[in-house]
Amino acid sequence: MANNRYSERVIQGMQLLFGEGFLSPGGAAEVADMVAGEAIAGRTVLDFGCGIGGGALLLAGTWGAAKVIAVDIEPNSLERTRQAAQAKGLSSQIETLRIQLGPLPLPNACADVVFTKDVVCHIADKAAAFAEMARVLRPGGRLICADFIENKPDASDPSAASLFDDFVAVLKEAGLHFHFERREVYERALAAAGFEEITVLDHTTVSATVARREYDLVTGPEGGSVRDLLGEDFFKLRIRLSETRALALERRCATHLHIRATNSPKGF
């Protein structure tokens, strides 16, 4: 997670693929899946790793959060979030805050909900990240998390194992740095942070379909608009990114999970 890693044309290209305001797959449809059945209206929501604001705008505008604290490490992303909030008339509901990796500059028990979409996979210390989320949640508050998880098979299935390695290699080539871990690492970290009622929904089939649709788009007639934005060299890399993610998810050597949990009633 490096500051300002996305150029203007890369951001625009990602929005063509993922939807306005999003830098990760799934866009608005996945946010709707993540928050379905959760109490958002009238609540204070921490959007951990808000990117360019797509999720924050939906949480405030569509689901009626009273306040969204949108945090990210990239100042350019936060400025885009502020501009988008102003354009949508949501400035009074959305507060932006630049953070660094480590302790959050927020008081204990300041949020009713923590929402984080495809962000924890960028963080090496999952236990520390979830502990901070628990700290800023009120007792009984809710965590709503989506993330990509390593599910690399053992040596008995070398072809699937190599798909995961290919996926990671292409991400690194694009300058994107991840710290993928297995599901049990997340479950241990959540429990250690004091979360209870942990539920995990396997979202891989849906995410694989989204990834395959993305690959079909960039390799089809509509891919020209993405090529024009990215330039020929990065467009070729974008195709490889789309293909390797689709294959890794389809073969389930990477999985995509939706996690919900309740903060300890005892609080921090």
Rounded to whole angstroms, the Cα distance separating 124 from 64 reads 33
Q: How many domains does the chain have?
A: 1
Sheet (strand 44-48) strand order = 94-98, 67-72, 44-48, 111-117, 137-150, 254-262, 196-202
Strand segments, DSSP code E, in 161-222 are: 196-202
For 88-131, write each residue's pLDDT tens digit: 999 999 999 999 988 999 999 999 999 999 999 999 999 999 99
Which pLDDT belongs to residue 175? 84
Does residue 99 fall inside a structural domain?
yes
Does residue 268 fall inside a structural domain?
no
For 255-267, write each residue's pLDDT tens digit: 999 999 999 886 5
Which pLDDT belongs to residue 154? 64
Rounded to whole angstroms, the Cα distance separating 9 from 37 reads 36
Does residue 188 fall inside a structural domain?
yes
DSSP string over 104-141: -SS-TT-EEEEEEES-GGG-S-HHHHHHHHHHHEEEEE
Burial string for 86-103 (b: 16+ CB within 10 Å, else e) reads eeeebeebbbbeebeeee
Does residue 241 fall inside a structural domain?
yes
Does residue 2 fall inside a structural domain?
no
**What CATH number is attached to the domain comprising 176?**
3.40.50.150
Which pLDDT belongs to residue 95? 97
Which pLDDT belongs to residue 9? 74
Q: At what angle do helices 75-87 and 54-61 cross, to 10 degrees?
A: 30
Query: Which residues in the chain show pLDDT less than 70?
Result: 1-6, 154-157, 266-268
Average pLDDT, the chain: 92
Parent domain of 75: 8-262
Does residue 1 fall inside a structural domain?
no
Rounded to whole angstroms, the Cα distance separating 101 from 81 reads 19
Q: Which residues pair with 95 in a beta bridge?
A: 69
Which pLDDT belongs to residue 179? 95
Which pLDDT belongs to residue 102? 87
Query: Kindly report the CA angle at 225 between 221 and 226, in degrees rounded to 5?
Result: 100
Rounded to whole angstroms, the Cα distance separating 108 from 105 reads 10
Which pLDDT belongs to residue 5? 58
Which pLDDT belongs to residue 156? 61
Reading the block at residue 140, the tokens are 């009984």
Does residue 76 fall inside a structural domain?
yes
Q: Which residues pair with 145 in a beta bridge?
A: 116, 259
Specify the pTM: 0.93
Rounded to an integer, what is the distance from CA 53 to the centroid of its chain? 12
Does residue 38 fall inside a structural domain?
yes
Residues 6+ apart with CB under 8 A from 3: 73, 74, 75
In one-letter notation, the amino acid at residue 44 is: T
